[in-house]
Structure formats: C-alpha cells, structure tokens
Amino acid sequence: MTNKSGLLILMVTYVLFTPAFQCGDRYINECTTYKNDTAISNIQALNFPRILRVNDTLKLTSIISDTVHTISGTNYIPRNLTTSRYIQFQVYKVVMVNGNPVLNFANIEFNPLVTEGSFPNYGGGGIFTLYSRVAPYNRLAISLVSGQPGLYLLTAVSSGNNYGYSANPAEPCTNYQDLHFFPVPQQQKQYWDTLAVTKLRLNGSNDYVVKSKEDPDYMFFRINP
C-alpha cells in the first residue's frame, strides 16, 4: 500500500467516525436521563351548566394552537407539526354494583355529530374524531345527543400524532404527555363526594381505574328524563 492510499483511507475513516461530520440530530443519543412534562390541550362544553334531558345535546369544542403550553410553564413550537390531530372520546355511565359505583361503556347511548372537524375513515375505539386545521390552529366542535337518562363521565382519551410525540428543540431530553384539560367548574367534582369515592373503576375489569378525582381530562354530566 502506498503512502497516498494509506492517507486517503485515514481521511475517509476520520470523516465517517468523527461526530462533527455526522448528520442528523445527535442529541437523541446524548440523553442519559429524561424529564417529564405535560402539554395542555383545552376542551370545554359550550352549554354548561345547562340542565340536560334525554334528546338534548352536549356541545363540546377544542381549539389547539401550534404553540404548546405545558404545566411547567414552558412554551414552544414542536419540531414536527402535524395536520392529523385527533381526539378519542369515551363516555361511561355510572352504575351501582354491589353498593359500589362503577363505570359501564356508554358511547352507544349518544349520537355524535361533528360540526367542525370530521370522523375519520379508519376505525378506533370510542368516539373517534379528527380536528380540522387552519394554521396555526386545530379546531374541533362535536355534539353528543343523549338517548338515556343517568350520570355520565366523559373522558378525552387521547390525541394522536400529538405534541407528546413531537420534540421541543430547546429541551430534547424532555418527554411531553398531551392531556385535554376541562375547565375545573365543568368537571363537576362534587359528584365524587356524592359517590363517596375518589376513583372510578370499569365494571368487570379486575379493578382497572378509569379516572381519579385529581385527573384533569374528564367531566361529569347528568341527563335527566
């Protein structure tokens, strides 16, 4: 091997294995520990606290900006914005079993109507809806038409392709969970006192806890006859 060939091999090796020459986001491999934070997405009932009866409508709206606001007070625009945000609602009915309040799935007791946003062509559990997007906002307006009386718990289960999966360029070692926060008055937490519990479990699920009193992503509402 000539000296020139050896020098060429050495230079190629240096370029390939020296970090300064490697492309991409190197910070992914540099995080030895991660912090956790929560991105706040807001949702509210427009006709709260109106008394609802069978065949009345619970109207919900959610407007989410591209700027993420977190519990820790951090504000940022995600590295990878998406045009396909969704939210998955679950409605549960509070029933008594052996003297204890538990939850039954109750989506079938409501007729969902989307006036801003859409229902996707692909399936999903619960009431699955897509936001409409006009940058820099994602908007959803959905109505739930009631069919049966009772006490119900509405949860915003998840928001797909969400800020929780998008990196904050300034804090690459922080994980962001995305939760939909209902206004505290609309959560109607007084029902926990009425039910004399602080957690509600799914009926027949081997003690699976659906929601706890301190969670932000639910609301109680009652449908009267």
pTM: 0.83
Amino acid at site 113: L
Local structure of 68: helix, strand or coil: strand
How confident is the model at residue 22, as a pLDDT? 44
How many CA atoms lie within 13 Å of 103's alpha carbon, on the beta-carbon side?
24
DSSP 70: B
How confident is the model at residue 20, as a pLDDT? 43
How confident is the model at residue 208, as a pLDDT? 96
- In tens digits, the chain (225 residues) has pLDDT values of 555 455 444 444 444 444 444 444 444 558 899 899 998 999 999 988 788 999 999 999 999 998 989 999 999 988 777 667 888 999 999 999 999 999 999 999 999 999 999 998 876 678 999 999 988 999 999 999 999 999 999 999 766 555 555 678 888 899 888 899 999 999 999 999 999 999 999 999 989 999 999 999 999 999 999
How confident is the model at residue 125, as a pLDDT? 76
Local structure of 51: helix, strand or coil: coil
Taking CA atoms, 109 is separated from 64, 145, 169, 198, 207, in Å, by: 28, 8, 44, 25, 24
Q: Residue 60: which of 162, 157, 177, 186 has the closest Cα?
A: 186
How confident is the model at residue 23, as a pLDDT? 47
How confident is the model at residue 129, as a pLDDT? 92
